Amino acid sequence: MTTKETGKIISISGATVRTDLSDLTLFERVSVGDNNLTGEVVRLEKESSVLQVYEDPVGLGIGEPVYGHGVSLTTTLGPGLLSVMFDGLQRPLHALTDKTGPFIHPIHLETSLDLKKQWTFTPLINNGDTVSGGVKIGYIDEGPFKHPIIMPNGRKGRVKTIVRGTITLGDSLCKLEDGSEIFGYHSWPMRVPRPYRKKISPGEPVITGQRIIDFLFPLARGGTSIIPGGFGTGKTILEQTIAKHADVDIVIYAGCGERGNEMSELIEEFLELVDPRTGCPLMSRTVLVVNTSNMPVAAREASIYTAVTLGEYYRDLGFHVLLLADSISRWAEALREISSSLEEMPGEEGYPTYLASRLSSFVERAGVVETLSGDIGSLSMILSVSPPGGDFTEPVTQALLRTSGAFLMLDTTLANSRHFPAINWMQSYSLYQNVLADHFKNNVSNDWEILRSLCREIMHKEESLKEIMEIVGIEGLQEQDRLVMQIAAQIRADFLAQNAYTEDAFSEPAKMLDIIRNITDQYIKGGEHTTSKSENETL
Ligand SMILES: Nc1ncnc2c1ncn2[C@@H]1O[C@H](COP(=O)(O)OP(=O)(O)OP(=O)(O)O)[C@@H](O)[C@H]1O
Ligand SMILES: [Mg+2]
């Protein structure tokens, strides 16, 4: 990459560095110091600029050089991303550890993708064809997928030559008559949403295999669910279980500020587990973006943009993508740290005043779209939130609540009683339920919605009966109410709870329906639910 400017470091405060360069642009990528640490311009002043360094700044000195790259931080997109674990700046961790060992030191890696690896390319266009942005010029076989290579947006021309067979990403795949070339990969500025033809309203679910989610609080393809939960309530296990089983083509898992050992266990497991849809290791449909708690905090802020750009890329290839992030609170803490080192005016709880707008512009990158190639692709998000002290009124949870369609509240009392997933069925909700009702009706059963409202009715009754029971005891309840309490207990134990470490970790929708039907049968027979009784006769 060509460097635009050269300047000097004039002051350093942690990972915040001031340089005498003044003609940089906001969010421009910079290389800082003798070790070429990657950074970004975060503030421009009259005769200096403030930079955020995303790598460990230990050893950085005044007077060391600063280079402006003339472009913003980018994500490299193309075949070879799947199965790889990247850091927040999209450097492949295996390449970093090969060079520096397990304790990563700053090194300069030119590209995130292996440009020498050989692939098989099959063209879909011929010499003389006129091609424009969005046209699929061919595809590369990548594990279980055919990875389309798409003409970049804004380009147009007549094809002069196109290759076939074994290629590397360093080779030009197609030459146009105007002399320009098309490669198998390209870069995209990570903070800029990728273009599409149009957004489409969500209408299909992401089947997570978690009964309480799919049945009571479903997530739509292209939608966003948040999972706020206090310490140890099961956020990580729930996200990882969904990453294993969700019925999507591609999973992007962003481990953001969480424990490193949890990520290494996840990778080991993913290498062993087989994706039932393709028969390939689960890892071959997964990209991991890892910025664990022991890695530089500042890069954590960039890591979710790396992850979402990767997600949008696969969406643009016509895939259904699920982005899981654990946890957005750690990202917000990184943002707070950067903001305070810039001495910005703090907002609520010390977070910058732009916290909510940053979060909503991130969440808005989810959606179902018609791609520039005319395919349908989707990017769905499931984001865990770790509110300090389990207080859901804190700014990160509140900001996400306003922008997300489903709220899966993890409950400390349930987790303490070892009821997992500890999703509170009284306080959680999904705004996607109505738009998905037809899908479940047409693809699973007419009874889906009927049994769903019956299940909710029983759980609500249990809640109100609990208060009465505290006063009069179970013996004081009427026989019918005792039946409600007994069935609700069974729903909790056999339907809403799911142990992530057993075969039961994943449940097909049809199986979900069988379980809930069997349990609620006694309720209907007991004459408790009159509407369902007549509905049941027609079923
Ligand atoms: N679905 C589940 N099935 C069985 N056990 C579970 C399940 N979910 C969580 N657990 C248990 O709860 C423990 C804590 O879960 P987890 O690490 O996911 O919590 P967390 O909310 O991510 O915690 P932290 O706030 O520390 O990040 C796990 O080690 C496991 O024993
Ligand atoms: Mg966790």
Instruction: Take residue 141 and report the two structure tokens written for it.
Output: 């076989």
Would you tell me how many other CB atoms lie within 10 Å of the CB of residue 516?
23
The Cα–Cα gap between 455 and 517 comes to: 10
C-beta 421 within 6 A of ligand 1: yes
Give the number of whichever ligand sits closest to the CA of residue 388.
1
Distance 385 CA to ligand 1 centre (A): 14
pLDDT at residue 533, as a whole number: 40
Tell me the per-residue pLDDT of 26-82, one tens digit each, with 9 for 90 and over: 989 999 999 888 899 999 998 899 999 988 888 899 999 999 988 888 999 999 999
C-beta 234 within 6 A of ligand 1: yes
Query: CATH says 5-72 is which class?
Result: mainly beta
What is the position in ligand 1's atom list of the atom closest to the CA of 386?
25
The Cα–Cα gap between 186 and 448 comes to: 45
Q: Is 211 exposed, middle or buried (0-12, 13-18, 19+ CB in 10 A)?
A: buried
The Cα–Cα gap between 502 and 396 comes to: 33
Residue with the smallest CA separation from ligand 1 atom 10 is: 234
Q: Which helix (H) or strand (E) holds 363?
A: helix 355-363
Distances in whole angstroms, Cα of residue 67 to Cα of each of 6, 28, 86, 223, 297? 5, 10, 24, 40, 22
Q: Which helix (H) or strand (E) holds 322?
A: strand 320-326
Where in the chain are the domains? 5-72, 118-185, 200-433, 444-538
The Cα–Cα gap between 300 and 46 comes to: 29
C-beta 231 within 6 A of ligand 1: yes
Distance 363 CA to ligand 2 centre (A): 21
CATH 3.10.20.740 fits domain 118-185: no
Residue 519 has pLDDT above 50, yes or no: yes
What is the position in ligand 1's atom list of the atom closest to the CA of 229?
21
Evaluate whether 455 touches 462 at the Cβ level (below 8 Å): no
Which of 226, 237, 256 to probe ligand 1 with, by most ligand atoms within 8 A of CB?
237
Contacts of 494 (CB under 8 A, 6+ apart): 515, 519
pLDDT band at 153 (very low <50, low <70, confident <90, very high): confident
C-beta 354 within 6 A of ligand 1: no
Give the number of whichever ligand sits closest to the CA of residue 390.
1
Q: Of 304, 78, 96, 322, whose CA–CA distance to 188 is shortest?
A: 78
DSSP lists the bridge partners of residue 131 as: 157
Residue 523 has pLDDT above 90, yes or no: no
The Cα–Cα gap between 88 and 325 comes to: 12
C-beta 208 within 6 A of ligand 1: no
C-beta 211 within 6 A of ligand 1: no
C-beta 353 within 6 A of ligand 1: no
E strands of 105-220, at which residues? 118-123, 130-132, 136-142, 145-150, 156-162, 165-168, 172-176, 181-183, 186-189, 198-200, 205-206, 219-220
pLDDT at residue 1, as a whole number: 46
For residue 189, cis peptide bond before it (omega within 30 degrees of 0): no
Evaluate whether 323 touches 254 at the Cβ level (below 8 Å): yes
Lowest mean pLDDT among 132-136, 215-219, 288-292, 306-310: 288-292
Lowest mean pLDDT among 89-93, 135-139, 181-185, 507-511: 89-93
pLDDT at residue 440, as a whole number: 95
Residue 282 has pLDDT above 90, yes or no: no
Query: CATH says 444-538 is which class?
Result: mainly alpha
Q: How far is CA 133 from the centre of its chain?
A: 27
Does residue 131 sit in helix, strand or coil?
strand
pLDDT at residue 528, as a whole number: 55
Please compute the mean of the pLDDT values over residues 204-219 and round it to a whole number. Answer: 97
Residue with the smallest CA separation from ligand 1 atom 31 is: 234
Tell me the per-residue pLDDT of 437-476, one tens digit each, with 9 for 90 and over: 999 999 999 999 999 999 999 999 999 898 888 888 777 7
Name which residue leads in pLDDT, 209 or 3.
209
Tell me the per-residue pLDDT of 378-399, one tens digit each, with 9 for 90 and over: 999 999 999 998 899 999 999 9
pLDDT band at 532 (very low <50, low <70, confident <90, very high): very low
- Amino acid type, 79: P
The Cα–Cα gap between 507 and 522 comes to: 22
The Cα–Cα gap between 468 and 488 comes to: 15
Please compute the mean of the pLDDT values over residues 480-497 and round it to a whole number. Answer: 92
Which of 385, 414, 420 to probe ligand 1 with, by most ligand atoms within 8 A of CB?
420
C-beta 233 within 6 A of ligand 1: yes
C-beta 422 within 6 A of ligand 1: no
Which of 226, 236, 504 to probe ligand 1 with, by most ligand atoms within 8 A of CB?
236
pLDDT at residue 538, as a whole number: 34
pLDDT at residue 226, as a whole number: 97
Homologous superfamily in CATH for domain 200-433: P-loop containing nucleotide triphosphate hydrolases (3.40.50.300)
Residue with the smallest CA separation from ligand 1 atom 7 is: 420
What is the position in ligand 1's atom list of the atom closest to the CA of 505?
1
DSSP code of residue 221? T
Q: Is 106 exposed, middle or buried (0-12, 13-18, 19+ CB in 10 A)?
A: buried
C-beta 103 within 6 A of ligand 1: no
Evaluate whether 242 touches 418 at the Cβ level (below 8 Å): no
Mean pLDDT, the chain, rounded, equals 88
pLDDT at residue 3, as a whole number: 47
Nearby residues for ligand 2 (ion, Cβ within 5 Å): 235-236
Evaluate whether 205 touches 394 at the Cβ level (below 8 Å): no
Residue with the smallest CA separation from ligand 1 atom 15 is: 234
pLDDT band at 534 (very low <50, low <70, confident <90, very high): very low
pLDDT at residue 531, as a whole number: 43
C-beta 292 within 6 A of ligand 1: no
Q: What percent of the chain has pLDDT over 90?
A: 63
Tell me the per-residue pLDDT of 397-408, one tens digit each, with 9 for 90 and over: 999 999 999 999
- Pick from 25-39, 101-115, 288-302, 462-476 the range whose average pLDDT is largest: 25-39
Lowest mean pLDDT among 68-72, 274-278, 515-519: 274-278
Q: Which helix (H) or strand (E) holds 43?
A: strand 37-44
Please compute the mean of the pLDDT values over residues 190-198 and round it to a whole number. Answer: 94
Q: How far is CA 286 from the centre of its chain?
A: 11
What is the position in ligand 1's atom list of the atom closest to the CA of 240?
18
pLDDT band at 308 (very low <50, low <70, confident <90, very high): very high
